Amino acid sequence: MNWDQIKGDWKQMQGKVKAQWGKLTDNDLMQIGGKKDELVGKLQEHYGHSKEQAEKHIDEFIKKM
């Protein structure tokens, strides 16, 4: 799976994203709206990750899908 597929199925993917990153709120997920850069920012905000760490975690998540 790649990010384009996740973006296209964002409504269905929100539950999996929230299960992976429980600190994200429903409002966060609506704001992200399938945009990878928005997810990176929210992970930085809620988890204190650097941009590189957040991108690495997202890439690992995508590989699992």
Residue-level pLDDT at 12: 92
* pLDDT of the residue at 2: 87
Instruction: Tell me the CATH class for 3-64.
Output: mainly alpha
Run of H or E residues at 18 = helix 10-20
Task: Please state the domain extents for the chain.
Answer: 3-64
pLDDT tens-digit readout, 3-52: 899 999 999 999 999 999 999 999 999 999 999 999 999 999 999 999 99
Q: How far apart are CA 59 and CA 26, in angstroms?
A: 22
- According to the model, what pLDDT value does residue 43 have? 98
Flag whether the pTM goes above 0.75: yes
DSSP code of 21? S
